[in-house]
Structure 1
Amino acid sequence: MTARPQSTNPLTTAPSTTPSTTPSVPARGPATAAGPPARFRDLLAAEWLKLWSLRSLRWAFGVSALALVLLNANAAVADRNNWPHYDERIRAGFVPYGAFADSFTNNSGITLMLIAGSLGAITVVGEYSTGLVRAGFAAVPARRSLTAAKAAVLTVVMLGYGAVVAAASFGVTQAILSGRHIGISIGYPGVLPAVLASALLAPVSALIGLGLGALIRHAATTIVANVVVLLLVPNFLRDDHYWSAVLYHAMPFRAWQRLREFGPPGLGPELPFPSTAGGSWLVLALWPLIAVLLAVVVVDRRDL
């Protein structure tokens, strides 16, 4: 007997796949695609953990702070040992200006600016070089908020770092100078604002480094740009011509120098275009503000 062929009528043939066995794909609405927006305090916590997760960064903070304090202490030891050989003119102007100059020397200020500017640049450039920035922006598409959180955490950390260095340097150096009875106290008129200016030098330099890092995105080039902006440019400017003096006084390094220079009238040379304390505070406020705004705008508008 010949087997009867099965019917090929589509109305009677059972389909091989039924709707009940087809996997369902849920509709992707706005909440499913992007998720709830990240809270700013969560971004701050994430940036805080990210910053302190680097062991090398913790070592950099500790070693550099100790080196800066020792650098200032060395200047105080030199003045303490050489005090018997100083003439009356030097002795007359040493307190308070010379005593405070030992608490935070020009060399320590230059070193602090280099360290802080480099650390601020690394917080941005390091993420671009490792590709971590892509993961961060994938998790948090709000680039401006993420960059603002990074800047806020960097400001707090560097402000604490600068305050520790400035306070420790002042305490150690004045304790050394007190052996010759030429030290000054923190309550001496003008000392506290000068110590505060020295502490602010760290976050100001770090935020400038952050802005340059977001703009350049290359480690070596950013470090060179930091050196040029923070240190080399002021060396080519002077106080003896108006426009040169205006640019000179607008540099963070010169603003810091102005705020730490106090003492008896006529102690320093007469300048044709002197800077003011109020203008110097404004310079230290505007530079980091402009740097952060630059970072936020550049990171938000440029491709990765």
Structure 2
Amino acid sequence: MTAPAPHRAPTGASRRAPQPPEPRARFGDLVAAEWLKLRSLRSTGWSLLLSALAVVAFNAGTAYDHYRYWQEFDAVHQADFVRSKMGLWDAFTGNGAMVLMLCAGAMGAVAVVGEYSSGMIRTTFAAVPARRSVMAAKVLVVAAVLALFGAVVAGTSFWLTQAVLAGRGAGVSIGEPGAVRLVAASALLAPVAGLVGMAIGTLLRHSAATMVANVVVLLLLPTVLGDERRWSAVLAHSLPYHAWQRLVPAGPYEVAYPWSLSGAWLVYGSWAVAAAVVTVTAVHRRDQ
């Protein structure tokens, strides 16, 4: 008769129950984490505040110049200013738009390059290997913050400049044709520039090179390209700044190569989508 096999105590490996797979981070959690990282930086609030003050100051300064030297214009020029609704030109000036693009582009770039320079991006990707999801959450947070920032700056600029011009009877209301489009185009210029800065920062990953590239793409190219020749006009019309110029009221002046409002909105959307795609996909197969 065969003796029963002796009972063996379970080994350490057999004692341990199989561990369930670690759950993947939900996208909402990633968005919350990116928002926490952004708002926890003390520089974020100061950057937004100082940038807003600078843009509003440029626009309000132009309106105040017209208010201050109003009496130096003759009656014909004063009437033409009011009749042509030129107060809309002061609501958001070209200088204000360039400062807005520069500040928003820099903030978008810092949101990416700052993590690379500090090494935090390694910790982030180690905790969440789904790099595309992390960058998509970052894109969403930065775009939302800059869209709100742009709305506040554009709305404040419109209200303040028209309040100043109202002292001379030259202010316009938000119901004036083209006024809402001007505010919307100026507000959306901030997230578009911010996303471009993020894309450049993701590709270059170096602070100085990223800032220089931002200036070249957002500010230098629009000043080099103009409407004098057809090829130059076509290239200029593909840039965010020239799209903004098309969307804001241009007054009675005609351009050599006109283009449509829908084309300008398409340029806005194309730059935003392309920049977001580059930011999300460029990190997938690259080392930190």
Q: What is the TM-score normalised by the length of structure 2? A: 0.92
C-alpha separation in 1, matches of 2:263 and 2:183: 17
The one-letter amino acid of 2:40's match is S
Relative to structure 2, which stretch is displaced further, 86-95 or 287-296?
Answer: 86-95
Q: 1:237 to 1:91 in 2, by over 3 A?
A: farther
Q: Over aligned residue pairs, what C-alpha RMSD do you find?
A: 1.8
Pick from 171, 175, 183 the counterpart of residue 195 of structure 1: 183
Higher-Rg member (1/2): 1
Pick from 70, 74, 88 the counterpart of residue 57 of structure 2: 70
Are positions 1:45 and 2:29 aligned together? no
The one-letter amino acid of 1:302's match is R
| Match runs of 1:107-122 below 5 Å | 107-122=95-110
**What is the match of residue 241 of structure 2?**
253
C-alpha separation in 1, matches of 2:177 and 2:144: 27
Pick from 203, 210, 231 the counterpart of residue 219 of structure 2: 231
C-alpha separation in 2, matches of 1:205 and 1:96: 30
**What is the match of residue 13 of structure 2?**
24
**What is the match of residue 175 of structure 1?**
163
**What is the match of residue 106 of structure 1?**
94
C-alpha separation in 1, matches of 2:18 and 2:130: 20
- How far 1:211 sits from its partner (Å)? 0.4
The one-letter amino acid of 1:279's match is G
The one-letter amino acid of 2:192's match is V
Q: Give every structure 1 segment of 4 or more consecutive aligned residues whose post-TM-superposition deviation is greater than 4 Å.
A: 19-23, 25-29, 93-97
Aligned residues: percent identity?
49
- How far 1:302 sits from its partner (Å)? 1.1
Q: How many residues align?
A: 279
Alignment check: 8 A CA contact 2:81 2:87 kept: no
Pick from 296, 300, 304 the counterpart of residue 280 of structure 2: 296
**What is the match of residue 148 of structure 1?**
136
Q: Provide structure 1 residue ranges, at least 5 long, that are not aligned to the other structure.
A: 1-18
**What is the match of residue 200 of structure 2?**
212
Q: What is the TM-score normalised by the length of structure 1? A: 0.87
Q: 1:297 to 1:234 in 2, by over 3 A?
A: same
Q: 1:124 to 1:297 in 2, by over 3 A?
A: same
Are positions 1:277 and 2:269 aligned together? no
Alignment check: 8 A CA contact 1:99 1:174 kept: yes
Q: Provide structure 2 residue ranges, at least 5 long, that are not aligned to the other structure.
A: 1-7
- How far 1:158 sits from its partner (Å)? 0.3
Alignment check: 8 A CA contact 2:150 2:188 kept: yes
| Match runs of 1:88-103 below 5 Å | 88-89=76-77, 91-93=79-81, 95-103=83-91
